[in-house]
A and B are shown apart, each in its own frame.
Chain A
Amino acid sequence: GEDVEQSLFLSVREGDSSVINCTYTDSSSTYLYWYKQEPGAGLQLLTYIFSNMDMKQDQRLTVLLNKKDKHLSLRIADTQTGDSAIYFCAESNGDNGGSQGNLIFGKGTKLSVKP
């Protein structure tokens, strides 16, 4: 079945770059997402990438997709203490019908930023 894997923890120093990695198993995944969740809050959609793209950049965020290896990464440049949160990788098959448009989440990576 579909599965999304992430490492559970990442610790970086303020000002460094953070790289959060994710692997997925469903080769028919159409969209891949990164969500951020701060304590006690909902999920914030950070960015997403369509499967025919290799890279997407949005200010401090860079998403890289290696479709051959089914590997997705999120790079946060100049990481700040406000970036401390849990980051969820998720994939879906878009609107291909049935339940394929459902989001399949990884377990989340807790990013800790030390001053």
Chain B
Amino acid sequence: DTEVTQTPKHLVMGMTNKKSLKCEQHMGHRAMYWYKQKAKKPPELMFVYSYEKLSINESVPSRFSPECPNSSLLNLHLHALQPEDSALYLCASSQDYGYEQYFGPGTRLTVT
């Protein structure tokens, strides 16, 4: 089983809202990732968690706040987003950092 699940599938939020994206995997993977993907572009790495600790932050604005409550779960808390933050947000996991990554189906976020 190489399944990564993400909820919600779609999210529409206003610029003053606070919302969270969730990601879950039960493969025993110890690295988890958040990516942002704009239309017709490849995914861009945002954050990497390794063994539940934040190991890479690709200079992401503080309105995006990641959290890893345990080894199976990864959250992305959103606050005061801008319309240009509208994108597909992808979660991925791998056995360990640097190993092949398995992606979830993504959350389509629209900021109004």
Contacts and interface: CB of A to CB of B under 8 A. Distances in A.
A24 to B, nearest CB: 13
Range of interface residues on B (Cβ < 8 Å): 20 to 34
B103 interface: yes
Contacts of A106: 42
Interface in A28-51: 31, 33, 35, 40-45, 48
Contacts of B104: 42
Interface in A81-115: 88, 92-96, 99-103, 105-108
B43 interface: yes
B42 A31 contact: no
A99 B106 contact: no
Contact of B106 (A41, A103, A107): A41
Interface in A16-35: 31, 33, 35
A107 B97 contact: no
Interface in B43-73: 43, 45, 48, 56
A41 B105 contact: yes
A103 B97 contact: no
Contacts of A93: 98
B98 A48 contact: no
A45 B102 contact: yes
Nearest to B107: A42
B100 A107 contact: no
A100 B55 CA distance: 12
Given A93-B98, A105-B43, 9 more contacts: A33-B100, A41-B105, A44-B103, A45-B2, A45-B102, A88-B42, A95-B97, A95-B98, A101-B98
20 contacts: A40-B108, A42-B105, A43-B90, A44-B103, A45-B101, A45-B102, A94-B98, A94-B99, A95-B96, A96-B98, A100-B98, A102-B45, A102-B56, A103-B45, A103-B101, A105-B42, A106-B42, A107-B41, A107-B42, A108-B42
Interface of B: 2, 4, 6, 40-43, 45, 48, 56, 90, 92, 96-106, 108
